[in-house]
Each structure stands twice: as C-alpha cells, then as structure tokens.
Amino acid sequence: MHSWWNVSLAVILGVAAIVAGITAWRGTVLNGHAVENFTLSTQSTNNANTMAQDAERSINTQRTLYLEYAQARDAKDAKRAAMAYSMMDSGTRSAIEWWDQQAAGNRPPSPFSAANPEWPAPSSIIDARLTLDESAAQLELANAELAKSHTLELLAALLTITFLAGGLSGVFESQNAKRALVAASGGTLVVCLIALVFMW
C-alpha cells in the first residue's frame, strides 16, 4: 500500500511539474504575442491617422487648385487656368475630365464627389479606415492573448496546490489523510490540465 501511494504521488507530481513547465512556457509565448500585437496595433493606428491626415490635406489642396482653375477658366485667363491645372495631381485631373464630360443635369455638384469614379480620394479614406479597423482587430487579439496569459499564470499558481498537497501527504501517518491529500493533488492537476487544453 505504501509503495502504491508513493508511485501515485510520484506520477502526479511528475505530471504536475511537466504541466507547470508547459503552462509557464505557453503563458510567456502568449504574453510575447500580446506585446507584439499591441505594438502592431499602435503602429496601424499611427499609419491610419497619417493616411487620413494626408488624404484630408490632399483633398483640401486639390479642391483649392480646382477653385483657382475654375475661376481662371470662367475669367478666360488661360495662363492662370493652365498653371492651376498643371499643379493638380493626375487623379484630380481625371476627375475633372470625367465631370466635364457628363451632362450638366446628370452629374454631381462638383468633381469631388464619391459618385465620380475617377476621384481617388474616397479610396484613400477607405484605406485609412481599413487600416484603423486592422488596428482595432490587433488590439482585440492582443487583449485576448493577454487575458489568456493571465489565466495561465493563475493555472501555474494553482499547480502549487498540487505540489503542496503532494508534499504534505508524506507528513501524515493516517491513510485517510494521505488519500485526501493525494486526491486533492490529483484533482487540482486534472482541473489544470483541462483548463490548459481549453486555454491553449
């Protein structure tokens, strides 16, 4: 009976040591991934903000150039109109050309409309929003990985109960006490094993 308890206890403590090692390793890996995703999320947010600011600045610049171009054209100032037109980017020039080709009653109020397929600004804004959505997804993933890492740290702490109960079982002479402690040790180990599988 004595050797059977010793073997059972040795198996439980051996498995607990392995599980504790795997739990600590997995927690460290998840923590590293969380930090990486927090960094990527911050970077994506910065990129999205930069893209949005660049798009807004570009839109304002192109609209100002278009107003200058339209005023010069209405005033029959070909030189000033040509100068303003030359300073526009190719996307704005394409948007103006498309707009000019549409019937007056069947076109948007200005070339700078989402209804204009040649105007590139909406795609820039969409790209910025997609980057911001990507940032939010990375942040959510980082939070989930960090939560798992904390849970695994809790499991590692619970595994100390396995070691404590197993170690105390050798102190008592009573077989009932030994059984209770080994059962507590084994039960905690099983719970930690199941939790580790689900938290993987």
pLDDT in tens, 27-46: 889 989 999 999 999 999 99
Rounded mean pLDDT of the chain? Answer: 85
pLDDT exceeds cutoff 70 at 25: yes
Q: Do residues 41 and 135 lie in contact, with contact meaning Cβ atoms separated by under 8 Å?
A: yes
User: Which pLDDT band, with edges at 50, 70 and 90, does 72 fall under?
Assistant: very high
CA distance 120 to 122: 6
User: Which pLDDT band, with edges at 50, 70 and 90, does 3 fall under?
Assistant: low
CA distance 47 to 138: 14
pLDDT in tens, 79-133: 999 999 899 988 889 988 998 888 888 888 888 887 888 887 767 777 888 888 8
**What pLDDT sits at residue 39?**
93
CA distance 95 to 120: 8
CA distance 129 to 84: 30
**What pLDDT sits at residue 32?**
92
User: Which pLDDT band, with edges at 50, 70 and 90, does 1 fall under?
Assistant: very low
CA distance 97 to 91: 10
Q: Do residues 93 and 101 lie in contact, with contact meaning Cβ atoms separated by under 8 Å?
A: no
Query: What is the percentage of the chain residues whose pLDDT exceeds 70?
Result: 96
Mean pLDDT of 127-144: 89
User: Which pLDDT band, with edges at 50, 70 and 90, does 5 fall under?
Assistant: low
**What pLDDT sits at residue 2?**
57
